[in-house]
Amino acid sequence: MALSGLDIYKLLAKTNCKACGFPTCLAFAMQLAQKKISLDRCPYVSDEARAILESAAQPPMKLVTIGTGDGALKVGNETVMFRHEQKFVNPAGIGFLLEDALPPRTIDEALAKIATLECERVGQRLRPDLIALRNASDDAGKFSALARAAAGRSALNLLLISDSIAALKSALETVRARRPLIMSCAARTPVAHFSLAKEEGLPVVVSGTSLEEVASLASQAKALGVDEMVIALAGGSIVSRIQDFTLAKRSALKRNLRALGYPFIAFTDSADPLLELEEAVSYVARYANIIIMKNYERDVVLPLLVVRQDIYADPQKPVQVEPRVYEIGKVDERSPVLVTTNFSITYFTVAGEVESSKVPSYIISCDAEGMSVLTAWAAEKFTAETITASLGKSGIADRVAHRRLIIPGYVAVLSGKLEELSGWQVSVGPREASGIPSLLKGWK
Ligand code: SF4
């Protein structure tokens, strides 16, 4: 839990010696509480005070990394209960369960299907993050073969689930370099799994049937030297799991309960695809950091990816596209020029309608700090002056032989001044983007 300036002040030497560059210890403490300076600037901090201050500076929920490189899944490091307080930091990982007892052909088909689960929304690429491999056969050879197939056919991160340390070690021979998360199938994680995680330097799932049990096991694993852990709650209903995730997150964030300060993993119970989607959405919202699903059909997974994108978007910073000129279709010097704001949803709605009109066009997205048209206009970020500046910066005048500009119907009021400032002839487009195709079809 973050310490206040006064809490920090009580731990300092209180001599006001100014060696830190601040006139008083209190001034130094206030700056430290706001994380504007480092503790090292005071040479008179006792070892005891340093230990307390450094511990308080740790994030209340541990960051856990599964995998390596750009595609690694990072979960945890969250600092708030609600996204409107600040934002959620690391999007929940979404994965799918595969068992080694399945026929090889079914495994092949599943991996092929999982590889197609991607889509683009408001300029962002959405994809799942991991595949969970369960040693249901109790055969180390089969488990190892499944790990080899998954690693060879998919770049997604891996979760290896087995009660057998020998089977896990055998699979690790193939996928160790992928830095998988390891887990036992048991309701209570055996100590042997913590020892393996420590030996291999891998993250491990700590399973228990209650928060008290996982807290005790996490402390035990920590004492053994395991650093990265993910918490799982075995048994219980969907509701009780969500209640426990909420209680655990609150305990970690608000009461600084380190033993529960780890990301949570949830496995879906529902067999019906739509019920499973509902369940997974509930876990994304409250507060699982990894969700493992049985189903990998597009119509179940893609909506879940979209929900995750929305929940993990920064509520104080709208999703934006780069302010510049965009070409839709094979444009030429006679193509129409439309202007809109750089709010992603606005831009992609306009772009979609222009595309469906089949009239090659230019779209200039003006820098309106990611606001939609009416909001930006009301905030004076989308005005005759800013549009004129965007026209100039875009270089569009060199790319078209005409000087006709289409503006959104909601800002028709800007027409006169915009014509005056830019020298372009302004046409007022429809208020809703759905009217764009009929407007462009009449373009000459
Ligand atoms: Fe206080 Fe340390 Fe700064 Fe001296 S150097 S004023 S003891 S905080």
Residue matched to tokens 């160790």: 176
Cβ–ligand 1 contact at 9 (below 6 Å) = no
Q: What is the mean pLDDT of residues 67-94?
A: 93
Nearest-angstrom CA–CA distance, 34 and 47: 22
Q: Assess whether pLDDT exceeds 90 at residue 42.
A: yes
pLDDT average, residue stretch 257-266: 95
pLDDT at 167 over 70: yes
β-strands 404-407, 425-428: how paired?
parallel
**Pairing between β-strand 157-161 and β-strand 181-183 as defined by DSSP bridges:** parallel
Using DSSP's 3-state secondary structure scheme, residue 333 falls into: coil
Q: Which two tokens stand for residue 133?
A: 């491999």
pLDDT for 279: 97
**Does 21 contact ligand 1 (Cβ within 6 A)?**
no
Across 289-311, average pLDDT: 96
Q: Which among 6, 10, 17 is the best mutation to test ligand 1's pocket, defined by most ligand atoms within 8 Å of the CB? A: 17
- Predicted local confidence at residue 246, as pLDDT: 96
Q: Cβ of 300: how many Cβ atoms within 10 Å?
A: 17
Distance 42 CA to ligand 1 centre (A): 5
Contact status, residue 96 vs residue 115, Cβ threshold 8 Å: no
d(CA 81, CA 89): 11
List of residues 6+ apart from 63 with CB closer than 8 A? 74, 75, 76, 77, 90
pLDDT band at 147 (very low <50, low <70, confident <90, very high): very high
Q: Which residues are paired to 134 by β-bridges?
A: 99, 161
d(CA 365, CA 343): 8
Strands 73-75 and 64-66: antiparallel
Q: Where does the pLDDT of residue 2 fall: very low under 50, low under 70, confident under 90, or very high at 90 and above? A: low
Q: Determine if ligand 1 sits within 6 Å of the CB of residue 143.
A: no
Q: Which atom of ligand 1 lies nearest, measured to the CA of 28?
A: 8
Helices 298-311 and 273-285 cross at an angle (nearest 10°) of 10
Q: 1 pLDDT band (50/70/90 cuts)?
A: low
Closest CA relative to residue 189, chosen from 233, 236, 245: 233
Q: Could you give the domains of the chain?
A: 5-56 (1.10.15.40), 64-311 (3.20.20.20), 325-441 (3.40.50.11600)
Residue 37 CB–ligand 1 contact under 6 Å: no
> Quick check: 97 and 134 in contact, CB under 8 A?
yes
Residue 53: the pLDDT is 86
For range 203-207, the mean pLDDT: 98
Q: Going by CA atoms, what residue is nearest to atom 1 of ligand 1?
A: 25
CA distance 146 to 110: 12
Instruction: Kindly report, residue by residue over 12-22, the tens digit of the pLDDT.
Output: 999 999 999 99
Ligand 1 pocket, residue 38 CB under 6 Å: no
Please calculate the CA angle 62-66-67 and round it to the nearest 5 degrees: 145
The candidate with the shortest Cα–Cα distance to 190, out of 158, 168, 173, 159, is: 168
Kindly compute the dihedral angle of the four CA atoms of residues 405, 410, 415, 417, in this order, to the nearest 10 degrees. -120
The answer to whether 222 and 215 have CB atoms below 8 angstroms apart is no
Query: Average per-residue pLDDT in the chain?
Result: 94
Closest among 312, 311, 352 to 328, alpha carbons compared:
352
**Is pLDDT larger for residue 199 or for residue 254?**
199
**Rounded Cα distance, 391 and 152, in Å:** 49
Whether 212 lines ligand 1, by a CB cut-off of 6 Å, is no
| Residues 6+ away with beta carbon under 8 Å from 432 | 409
Cα torsion 255, 259, 261, 263 to 10°: value is -150
Q: Give 122's pLDDT tier (boundaries 50, 70, 90).
A: confident
3-state SS class at 272:
coil
DSSP classification of residue 379: T
Mutate to test the pocket of ligand 1, among 6, 8, 10, 22 (most ligand atoms within 8 A of CB): 22
Task: Compute φ and ψ for 138, nearest 5 degrees.
Answer: 65, 15
Separation of CA 7 and ligand 1 centre (Å): 15
Share of the chain above pLDDT 70, in %: 100
Say whether pLDDT at 57 is over 80: no
Q: pLDDT of 366-417, one tens digit each?
A: 999 999 999 999 999 999 999 999 999 999 999 999 999 999 999 999 999 9
Which ligand 1 atom is nearest residue 25's CA?
A: 1
- Tokens found for residue 326: 């965009």
Is the minimum distance from the CB of 151 to ligand 1 under 6 angstroms?
no
